[in-house]
Amino acid sequence: MTDADSHPLGEPGAERAGRIAALLAELRRQGIADERVLAALARVPRERFVSPDLARQAWENAALPIGEGQTISQPYVVARMTEALALTGGERVLEIGTGSGYQTAVLAELGATVVSVERHAPLARAAARLLADLGHDVAIHVGDGSLGWPPDAPYDRILVAAAAPRVPAPLLGQLSPDGGRLVLPVGPAADQDLVAVERRGPETVESRIGPVRFVPLIGRAGWPGREDEER
Ligand code: SAH
């Protein structure tokens, strides 16, 4: 083993490569078939998106805490949502709920131009710093993403990483009418469906992808937040 094989966090290269291979094998078994998506996941150093004490669990197929009561999404869910976006490269993508920035990095790896909105400023700051450090040119904004991000609309794709009570109307309005696609979890805490909505001119076609569990989308076109909640 050479130094070049070691990850900066100290895990030997071969061990890390083994963990990545095991995760990809599990994702394939779970039905992820898009090799471009799997390759993008393998390229994004997930250990960098969690705190150092969780780095050894970074390649497990699990959501992990990232602070502010939020979690980094499970790799399977990131893969499934990314696959559902059907990116071919060059799309303008709006992401709601930056969190750690992990999903953001996967989208950027696939050649998307990403605009991401996060309501917790500390998470947005940390994600912006890390993504820049990894060489991704991504715009991260602090705000209520349930209202989308009008300045850069329309978007070819919109991905929402928090569960909404229903498809937020402002997001539909910011989706390209010409084949634009929105992927988001819809439903209350214990009963959410991953939904894809495609715009074909004036029509929208909705399909269900499967059951998921996300933190709530808190905002004007999402769930109400607690009065005393820190913003
Ligand atoms: N995909 C991210 C995890 C996102 S967790 C990752 O892999 O790290 C969902 C995120 O949505 C949380 O960070 C939460 O703060 C954020 N969120 C919830 N409601 C929001 C809103 N209305 N606007 C923007 N972000 C929101």
pLDDT in tens, 99-124: 999 999 999 999 999 999 999 999 99
- Specify if 217 maps to a domain: no
**Atom 19 of ligand 1, nearest CA residue:** 217
* pLDDT given at position 202: 87
- Specify if 119 maps to a domain: yes
What pairing do the DSSP bridges indicate for beta strands 70-72 and 157-160? unpaired
- Specify if 8 maps to a domain: no
Distance CA 181, CA 196 (A): 7
- Specify if 231 maps to a domain: no
The answer on pLDDT for 228 being more than 90 is no
- Specify if 153 maps to a domain: yes
Q: Give the residue, out of 218, 229, 231, with the most ligand 1 atoms within 8 A of its beta carbon, to mutate for a pocket test.
A: 218
- Specify if 169 maps to a domain: yes
Number of folded domains in the chain?
A: 1
- Specify if 2 maps to a domain: no
- Specify if 132 maps to a domain: yes
Written as six digits, the tokens of 163 are 């569960």
Q: What is the CATH number of the domain that holds 117?
A: 3.40.50.150
At 86, the pLDDT band (50, 70, 90 cuts) reads very high
Q: Does the Cβ of 82 fall within 6 Å of ligand 1?
A: no
Percent of the chain with pLDDT over 70: 93
- Measured in whole angstroms, the distance separating CA 60 from the mean position of its chain's CA atoms is 17
Distance CA 62, CA 77 (A): 9
* pLDDT given at position 7: 57
What average pLDDT does the chain have?
93
User: pTM value?
Assistant: 0.94
Q: Which domain holds residue 47?
A: 13-212
Short-list 185, 58, 38, 20, CA closest to 106:
38
